[in-house]
Every structure is written in C-alpha cells, then in structure tokens.
Amino acid sequence: MAYKTIQLAVEGKLATLTLNRPDKRNAISFELIDDLLRALDEVAKSDAIILVLTGAGKAFCSGMDLDNLKALTGRTPEQNLQDSKTMVQLFRSLYEFPKVTIAAVNGAAIAGGTGLALLCDFTLASPDAKFGYTEVRIGFVPAIVSTFLLRQVGEKHARDLLLTGRLFDAAEAARMGLINEIVPGEQLMARARQLASVLMENSSASLFATKQLLTDHARTEIDAQIEEAVRSNAAIRLTADFREGIASFLEKRKPVWTGK
C-alpha cells in the first residue's frame, strides 16, 4: 500500500511505522491522519504481533500542521464535527489496536503528537523528548486527549497539564507514569526492538486476548466521555478566542483574548 507521509515496514512479527515528514517535524496533517488509519488497518491484518511507532528526523510529532491549522478557522460546523470524529477514530484506533504497540519517542511530541506517543501500550523516550497538551495556549480545548489522560495519571495531574498547557520533559513524564523508560537517543530503536523481542516470547493469542480485555474494560467509560469530547472539540472552533489563538500563533505574536 502506498503512503505519502509515513513509512511502514513489516518484517515477520514486527511492524515499524515511521511518521515521515521530517521537514515539518512530522506534524499532523489531514493526509497524515488518513495514512495512519490505513497503515494501522494494514498492520492489524498482517502477521505482525508488535507495532513500533516512531518519527523521522529530530521530532516525533510536533502537533497540527500549520497549513491545516490555518484552514480550521474556515471550516463549517459540520466539517468541525467530522474533523473531531476523525481525530477520535485515529486515537481510538491506536488506543484499542489489537496488536501490542510501542512508541519510540525520538524528540518533541506536542499536542496531538503527545496523544499519539502516550496512547501506545509502551512508551520509550529519549532524554530530550518534550511533551505538552498545548491546546489552551491557542484557544483550543484538549477534549479528546483528556479522556485518555485522566485514565493514565488521574485528575490532579490531568488538570495541571491540560489547564496550563505547559511543556514537560521525559523525566517528568516518567515520574507521572506516562512513559515506561528513558533511553539514550542512539539506543532508542534498538531498545524498542529488544522490548518487542521480549513480548514475542509470549503467546500471541494471550497478548491479543489481554489487550482485548483491557479495551473492553475501558470501552463503556470512554464511549460516554468521547461523545461529549467530540461536541466540545467542534464547538470551541466557533469562538472568537479560537480564531485569535490560531491567528496569533501563525503570526508569532501574543494573543489578545476576549473570552468569547
């Protein structure tokens, strides 16, 4: 299958999916989302047991593509709602993926990039990796990612990260339990493959059944929260603060909020 924004390699029981827009710091574009969804489906149908997700170049994923971000201000309410549903589909496809997933975070993973990195079963990160739910800094709302973050770190940490929109490093992410290991950058992919080898020693039927069990446990709660998250995600795009946040970010100036 042909992809424009990612690279997918399936070697026996191991699949490696690389976000491949290094000149854009692997930013999330509409095209990248489509490629990711198709690639996840391809891996799910393959003989692979483990999927490693990483980024090309110096970043893992820097968040939304600037051109796509600018386009959001001109979307209709119906398009905003569909955009939100598509992002939910991507995040849930990764969170509920039937095979075991390992994120090898080689650099910045911001906003939606943080979501992709932390929704994997295992997250390994280089010491210089940066994370952040920065949505509130541009007049957006981290509605969809909040559903998953609350399950991972609890309400107090979630409120801190989501309301401040601050960046945090790999060491802090490890302390909160958001990542499993900090690995020197030059050893990151080797460690991911080593972990994959350890996992492959287990029964694949047991791995898949255990993942399905965990998914089933979470589904009812996530279904209810996601429905509200989609509405919030779409609704915030109709506000003046959202338009100002996008404009100020693109113009590299301090935003002037009106609270509307």
pLDDT tens digits for range 38-92: 999 999 999 999 999 999 999 999 999 988 888 888 888 899 899 999 999 999 9
Cβ neighbours of residue 118 closer than 8 Å, sequence gap 6 or more: 103, 109, 131, 148, 149, 152, 178, 179
Domain extent listing, the chain: 1-184+202-260
Q: Please name the amino acid found at residue 162.
A: L
Q: Please name the amino acid found at residue 140.
A: F
| Secondary structure class of 187 (helix, strand, coil) | helix
- Residue 135 catalytic? yes
- Exposed (0-12), middle (13-18) or buried (19+): which is 45, by Cβ within 10 Å? exposed
Q: Is the pLDDT of residue 1 over 80?
A: no
Annotated catalytic residue within 135, 155, 172, 181? 135
Measured CA to CA, the distance from residue 3 to residue 20 in angstroms comes to: 10
DSSP letter (8 states) at residue 28: B
**Which of 191, 203, 207 is CA-nearest to residue 124?**
191
| Secondary structure class of 183 (helix, strand, coil) | coil
**Which of 157, 134, 29, 131 is CA-nearest to residue 90?**
29
Helices 77-95 and 30-45 meet at what angle, rounded to 10? 30
Residue 180: pLDDT band with limits 50, 70, 90: very high
Stretch 130-145: mean pLDDT: 95
pLDDT tens digits for range 207-257: 999 999 999 999 999 999 999 999 999 999 999 999 999 999 999 999 999
CATH number for the domain whose boundaries are 1-184+202-260: 3.90.226.10
